[in-house]
Amino acid sequence: MNGRVAIVTGGAQSIGYAIAERLAKDGVKIVLADINGEAGAKATVALSEGGAQAVCIQTDISDRASVDAMTADVLKRYGQIDILVNNAGITGGSAPLWEQTDENWDRVMAVNLTAVFYACRAVIGPMRERKSGAIVSVASIAGKEGNPTLLPYSVSKAGVICLTKALAKEVATEGIRVNCVAPAVIETPMLAQMSAETVNYMTVKIPMGRLGKPQEVAAVVRFLASDDASFVTGQCYDVSGGRATY
């Protein structure tokens, strides 16, 4: 992993930051692609203080031009992209279908799913040229089970799981692996975007009876991004304390 270059979207805080920190421990050069430039700058300082080589490129991953500019910048700086972690995401709040607005549906799809399409498409050319690369997306158990009051979110994450499976097959013989993880409830500020009822619904379903930690997601993402997972592609790994039923 030493010297490889990783883009971590939404890497300024929480799960994305933990992933960046874990990859940096292996000597991976980190690019945080986050919409929050201030938090990204702080995260870059914290990673650098820990010995990492890290930069933040302020990016709105739901904006194709912003994603393309960010990847062009990474290629200019480093000449290669070895790892893409599609982590950034939003919940869209808690509401039943009959209270969902067009705007909320569109925004959740744009940030959680279309952005993954944009980012994968932007890096796949350079990865195919080098016949090497690993893409890991952060989906959600919601994308497998379908959580009530989180309908757009659940659908977007199901899309990420399916995008993973389809793209993995397209590049399976080209040295590029594509996988995703499906966390259950992880202790991050994202939980504040949902009602207490929604969070409770998801939490009581976790057989281990506790919330996950960002570092527990990061460890699985690191495995999937590394050569340890050299025969693993098109998979969705659960990080859910046993929640998934398939």
Ligand X SMILES: NC(=O)c1ccc[n+]([C@@H]2O[C@H](COP(=O)([O-])OP(=O)(O)OC[C@H]3O[C@@H](n4cnc5c(N)ncnc54)[C@H](O)[C@@H]3O)[C@@H](O)[C@H]2O)c1
Q: Which residues are annotated as catalytic?
A: 153
| Contact set for ligand X, span 8-67 (CB under 6 A) | 9-10, 12-16, 34-36, 39, 59-62
Per-residue binding letters, 197-226, with ligand X (x by CB under 6 A): ------------------------------
Q: Following DSSP, what letter does each residue of 95-157 receive, concatenated?
A: B-GGG--HHHHHHHHIIIIIHHHHHHHHHHHHHHHHT-EEEEEE--THHHH--TTBHHHHHHH
Minimum CB separation of residue 166 from ligand X in Å reads 19
Given candidates 76, 98, 189, 204, which one binds ligand X under the rule CB under 6 A?
189
Q: Which stretch binds ligand X (CB under 6 A): 20-28, 46-54, 85-93, 144-152?
A: 85-93
Task: Pick the closer one to ligand X by CB: 58 or 132.
Answer: 58
Task: Pick the closer one to ligand X by CB: 63 or 174.
Answer: 63
Least Cα distance to 182 among 237, 232, 130 occurs for 237
Least Cα distance to 142 among 104, 108, 110 occurs for 108
| Contact set for ligand X, span 131-160 (CB under 6 A) | 138, 140
Other CB atoms within 10 A of residue 192 CB: 9
Minimum CB separation of residue 181 from ligand X in Å reads 8
Contacts of 18 (CB under 8 A, 6+ apart): 213, 214, 215, 217, 218
